[in-house]
Amino acid sequence: MCKKMALILWCGISTAAFAAENWSFSEQVGVVSRGMKSSELATYELETAKARALGKQWSFLPTVNVAASRSKTVTFGEGGGTVEAKSAGVDVSMNVYRFGADSAAYQAGYESVRAAKFNAQSKSLSSETIAAQALCEAMSAQMEMKIYRRRMSAARQAEQAADARYKKGILSEQELAKLKLEASGLEMALRSAARKHEKVFALLEGWGAKISDDAVWPLSVNPDYFLKAKSWVSAAKSGDLKVKVLEAEATAAKSAVTAARAAMLPSLDLSSNWSKSGTVEAEQLTARSQMMLTLSVPIFSKFSDYGSYKAAVHQASASDAALTSERLVSGAKFQALVRDALAGLDDAKELQGQITVAESLYADNLKRFERGLISVNELSIDEHRVREAEIAAVAAWSNAHMALFKVAEESGDSVLSSKILP
């Protein structure tokens, strides 16, 4: 019988370990990210930007139109009749000189696409960060719920010991009431954690993700990944994605100013037309060709061109100011992010070690309480210390994992692609 029970227990432990081992934090972040469709939306936005820039980038090319027509004219009255005619022709027009408007439009289109590419990359990395945050919140909620369940069990054990002492007349009713009050508070905290758990898990399930019941923080149980993460953070370099986006937008805005200014200046255009027309019965159609060079001098456009020019000037100034501001703080912000990430990893590891010490102290003092050597207040302090250590460790590990994704987002790298986490 004992052997059978041992076999069942071993199988249960093995199954749980296998489930936790095969559950991948990185894989689930990818599932959430794909479920949120953020990368997909960023790709669509990039393709939209390319399509909008297409006309600007090729505005210097000629415009070609081909037309063909067939008509029937009926004349009533004496001598009337029906005449059928047909014609076909080609119109070609192109601008010859517009004070740099075409090259400015091409540059503006090119830079707008470049900005869209950097923006799409940034949004893709941001989606990983948001997905990791959702997963970390869910894992934290699950772990907090387990902590309160364990503390409830410990509180019941302490309450039983206190009740035994009370019945022997060596513990006052007020002291016993204190423990019952604390147990009631823990029960309320457990219900609150359960509601939070239900809420965040509903979001994850909506995105197609799941969390193993035995899921643990990858960096807390694998020293190799912990050291790898610290090394990766230490070597991370700023990708300046936001700066690159603003640089491209500022260059595009300056080119837009040139194009808007050129719209208020004279332009020289060349057009050519060739056509053949005549009646259907005619053996030969009459061919005509025409070439024309047109000089256009804008005199008054109800201030529309001037308004567009001034708007472009102000937009360029705003883009330049945003770029300057971001350049001033970009490096410092990234270095602070790296320092916080490294400190967070060390803090999480230290807090994890404090749990063992706190649990040992509580276990020793529970035995002393059962022998009547310490008061309820002293035991409560030790229980509270264990609970706070466990909750603080959960929060610290959550922040440590999130910090990796934030550093990756700012460096233009991907935690999932870099294989920093299992």
The answer on 275 and 126 residing in a single domain is: no
What is the domain extent for residue 275? 64-74+81-97+265-297
- The b-or-e profile of 22-57 (16+ CB within 10 A means b, else e) is ebebbebbbbbbbbbebbeebeeebeebeeebeebb
Sign of the torsion angle spanned by Cα atoms 407, 408, 412, 418: positive
Residue type, 325: S
Instruction: Per residue of the chain (422 residues), give pLDDT as tens.
Output: 333 433 333 344 333 443 445 788 999 999 998 888 888 888 888 888 888 888 777 877 888 999 998 888 877 766 667 778 888 999 998 888 888 888 888 888 888 889 889 888 888 899 999 999 999 999 999 999 998 888 888 778 777 777 777 787 777 777 778 778 877 888 888 888 889 888 888 888 888 888 888 889 999 988 899 999 999 999 999 888 889 999 999 999 999 899 889 888 898 888 899 988 888 777 678 888 889 988 888 888 888 888 988 999 999 999 999 999 999 999 999 999 999 999 999 999 999 999 988 888 888 887 887 777 877 778 778 888 888 899 999 999 999 999 999 999 999 899 988 888 88
Residue 102 belongs to some domain of the structure: no
Rounded-to-integer distance, Cα 180 and Cα 388, Å: 19
The answer on 283 and 219 residing in a single domain is: no
DSSP string, 181-193: HHHHHHHHHHHHH
Residue 346 belongs to some domain of the structure: yes
Structure tokens at 162: 């206190």
Considering only CA atoms, which of 399, 212, 243 is closest in space to residue 329? 243
Considering only CA atoms, which of 185, 103, 197 is closest in space to residue 144? 197
The answer on 331 and 197 residing in a single domain is: yes
Rounded-to-integer distance, Cα 99 and Cα 332, Å: 42
188: CATH: 1.20.1600.10
pTM of the model: 0.77
The answer on 180 and 168 residing in a single domain is: yes
Distance of CA 194 to the CA centre of its chain: 28
The answer on 349 and 275 residing in a single domain is: no
The answer on 184 and 90 residing in a single domain is: no
Sequence-ordered list of residues with C-beta below 8 angstroms from that of 87, at least 6 positions apart, any chain: 68, 69, 275, 276, 277, 278, 285
